Chains A and B, each alone.
Chain A
Amino acid sequence: MEILVEGLRFARDRRPVLDIPALRIASGGVTAIFGPNGSGKTTLLRLIAGLERADAGTIRIGPALVEPGPAAARAAAIAFQEPVFLRGTVRRNLDLAMRLRNVGHDERAERVAEVARECGIEVVLDRSAWKLSGGEARRAGLARVLALRAPVTLLDEPLAGIDRVARTHLLDDLPRLLARFATTTVLVTHDREEAFRLADDLVILTGGTIRAAGPKAPLYASPPDVDTAELLGYTVLFPPGGPVAVPPGGLRLGEGEVGFDLAVERTIDMGNHLHLLGTIAGRRADLRLPSGSAPPMAGTIVRVFAASRVALPR
């Protein structure tokens, strides 16, 4: 279902947290709310889930206005950043969640079996939910929200706090799981890779306001401003012709059309390449050099150029 936000304002302890004049999240896809820590991402998600009351404005899911408080027929289901469980087995936790949403007995059993199989938590179904590893707890929390098959599934940092291997596997599995169990998904992340791998659309949030929103490819191809470009992973530089966004690996050693002086700070041997770190006019910049090449000394200044770049509006 489509989510429509209008004139939304939210403050905590008189400190403004969110100010969103208008936002439309399309029905049927995966949208990532992407931004740095403290930008209000989680608050926006909790507002959509009906766990917070806005100071002004409205949120609609489909035709229905989101009213804070419990509602069994609620369109949205949320998985928190920290998976939290009741006492008892994983099975009981999944079952209770569906029972609270008025899913019938037989269907609950079917859904538990299916979601457990798909999420890879069959072996822990009858284990205490409090004794799961970080990765298992993540998947169990995810299974619980997916089992609800809510029209809108909200995931707060679905990959936070698990080890690298578990994260890689879950990142691989998530698109398939969302496609199977969720209709419209909104997820919150501060991680660029997650946002790009999981989402169709991005909503870029900084300081409680939306900097950009829309399908990820055009957004990445032409970032609307400097902050957005930096969030998307570009190095933003300011040559005389106006700001440019340089994608990762876009800087090369040598002379080119748009050249800069890079003050070398250090070189890290990454095994298969050298990673050169430094600053250009006070802004952090980095480039890759082939392994085995003689790196410039720290403290020296080298000429680099932007082999690929996107011009930003001034």
Chain B
Amino acid sequence: MNDLLRGAAQAVQLLFSGDRELYAIILRTLSISLSATLVAMLIGVPLGYGLARGRFPGRTLLLGAVNTGMGIPPVVVGLMVWLLLTRSGPLGGLGLIYTKQAMLLAQVVIATPLVIGFTAASIQALPPQLPDLLTSLGAGRLRRLWILSGEARLGFLAAIMAAFGAIVSEVGASMAVGGNLRGSTRVLTTAIVTETGRGNVPVALALGMMLLALSFMVNLVLTVVQQRRRS
């Protein structure tokens, strides 16, 4: 308990110490994970919609795969992306290994199944006759999609929160493909691992609390949006 209190005190102290490196880490963490969330939404929402509304062979299999993907360990994703991007790997020529782009890619891979899963679930939760109703009223394909998305927006916000929450807190993939390079790919989670390894437990704890606070702030904004739209 004492350690926790000391960690909290140190977190506040660190935050206002004007430590440029710390600010850079926080900004980097936010920009990578928010970008990855955005990309995952762009990929995952249409796929989730198609999976929810489509009727094609292999659909159940695909849904099963997505549901598995929602729980995939980040370190496994990290390993796969590392094998892909490493110098001798199939995409090694791109020179992306140990860059922010590599971390972004890995986080997109982690977040996309979550977005697909949440989107599919929220679309499927809509009354099944809704598309027919809109068609009969004369709504074209795009209009229908727009209105249905509006109906499912609580689910979309849940998807954003789940995706962002998962990738901002993961450490395995960021470590594997980012390399935790000081000043370029170190993010909050990998910094915590580093500080803990060095025996700097109070600093690690302080960083952990910052991560929590960051995650809380982003989720709070989304929750406010979600609950306001609801009423």
Contacts and interface: CB of A to CB of B under 8 A. Distances in A.
Q: Interface range on chain B: under 10, 10 to 19, 20 to 34, or 35 or more?
A: 10 to 19
Given A80-B132, A84-B133, A70 B147 contact: no
B197 interface: no
Contact of A72 (B138, B147, B151): B138
Majority SS of interface residues in chain A? loop
A71 B130 CA distance: 16
A80 B138 contact: no
Interface residues of A, number: 25
Contacts of A101: 137-138
B129 A100 contact: no
Contacts of B127: 82, 84-85
Contacts of A96: 137, 147
Contacts, number: 55
B136 A73 contact: no
A80 B147 contact: no
B4 to A, nearest CB: 43
B137 A97 contact: yes
A51 B133 CA distance: 9
A49 B138 CA distance: 11
Contacts of B129: 80, 82, 84
A236 B136 CA distance: 41
Interface string B109-143: 00000000000000000010110111111111101
B195 to A, nearest CB: 47
Contacts of A51: 132, 135-136
Given A80-B132, A80-B133, A87 B138 contact: no
B132 A100 contact: no
B28 interface: no
A87 B140 contact: no
A86 B137 contact: no
Contact of A73 (B130, B138, B141, B150): B138
Interface string A36-63: 0000000000100111000000000000
B138 A70 contact: yes
Nearest to A99: B137
9 contacts: A69-B135, A70-B135, A70-B136, A70-B137, A70-B144, A80-B129, A80-B132, A86-B147, A87-B150
Interface of B: 127, 129-130, 132-141, 143-144, 147, 150-151
Given A69-B135, A70-B136, A86-B130, 7 more contacts: A49-B136, A51-B136, A70-B137, A70-B139, A72-B138, A80-B129, A96-B147
